Amino acid sequence: HADTAMYHAKNQGRNNCQFYSAGLSRTVYENLMLESALRNAEERGELSLHYQPQFDLTTGRLIGAEALVRWLHPELGSISPAQFIALAEESGQIVKLGEWVVRNTCRQIKQWLNQGLKLERVSVNVSALQIQRGNFADSVGQILRETGLAANFLELEVTESFIIEAEQSFAILDALRQMGVELAIDDFGTSYSSLKYLKRLPIQRLKIDRSFVQDIPNDLNSNAIARAVIAMARSLQLETVAEGIENSQQRDFLMAEGCQCGQGYFFGKPVPVVEFTQLYLAGL
Ligand code: C2E
Ligand code: MG
Ligand code: MG
Ligand code: MG
């Protein structure tokens, strides 16, 4: 059995440090174990979604949320998406996992709307591989039909690296936009995307990466980058969403520069659905 073999290899590695770096073998072993555990995570009910609120910076009004996947393993505890999304991408599981995230988010938005609760949209992270493999646009269309959700309530966040790697996938984004789905570029500024793509892509929003937001207003370079991104977005008629706002100075700076929306611990951490409903939707 592969798992058992890995287990023995790991133990031997520990006893024979001259042959194996314990750190390396542990990582390989853990990754294999996690990857196989992830295959069953959905049916075992270990996956859930947390929602982080997004606000209009000027009016303070709630716009909606970003859905963030969570994995609670019975023995290992909660495993960060930074870890398991990469594994899911390497193993191809991201297609199924990503579909689960889209379906569950759409069901949740529909339920909120049915309860008479008001929100503009909820965004879902989509990995490049998810778009490249499988029929992503068809699958999203199918989910919208089966949940009866109007497409404009769903926003998909794709990363900048996707734009660089996958020019051939632009057609898929076009198809999604045709359906009425909203599109945003996530973590904007962290890769070296060509600006000419920004004009060609059917996107509505840029999300300013947290790494720029976190040093506002003391780091002049971060201020300059945030200012430039907001100005460029405006001239391309795109909205900007700042991520990782942790204090009022950051909020005030971004607002003054014309950034429309924001999210971050200053407003609220990602929370389970019941909490999100109580904290952000029930009073409206
Ligand atoms: P992201 O899409 O850039 O999401 C923002 C991350 O920043 C989230 O981490 C969120 O919890 C965290 N965050 C939000 N506000 C603050 C803040 O004020 N301060 C700090 N320090 N952090 C803040 P999380 O939930 O651990 O997700 C990490 C990444 O994993 C996400 O980055 C996204 O790239 C990926 N991810 C999460 N859920 C999914 C998913 O369903 N599908 C895919 N493909 N990727 C996902
Ligand atoms: Mg995101
Ligand atoms: Mg982001
Ligand atoms: Mg980010």
Q: Which of 50, 55, 68 to mutate to test the pocket of ligand 1 (most atoms within 8 A of CB)?
A: 68
CA of 21 to the centre of ligand 1 (A): 31
Atom of ligand 1 nearest to the CA of 89: 44
pTM of this structure: 0.90
- Substitution site in 79, 85, 211 for ligand 1 pocket (most atoms within 8 Å of beta carbon): 85
Radius of gyration of the chain measured on its C-alpha atoms: 20
Q: For ligand 3, a single-atom ion, which residues have Cβ within 5 Å? A: 186-187, 243
Section 166-171 average pLDDT:
75
Question: For 148, which DSSP code?
Answer: T
Q: Per-residue pLDDT for 84 more than 90?
A: yes
Instruction: Answer yes or no: is the ipTM higher than 0.85.
Output: yes
Query: Residue 230's Cα: distance from chain center in Å?
Result: 21
At which residue do the structure tokens 């039909």 appear?
145
Alpha helices (runs of H) in 16-133, residue ranges in sequence order: 22-41, 81-91, 94-114, 128-132
Of the pLDDT bands very low, low, confident and very high (cuts 50, 70, 90), residue 164 is low
* DSSP label of 61: -
Protein residue with its CA nearest to atom 23 in ligand 1? 244
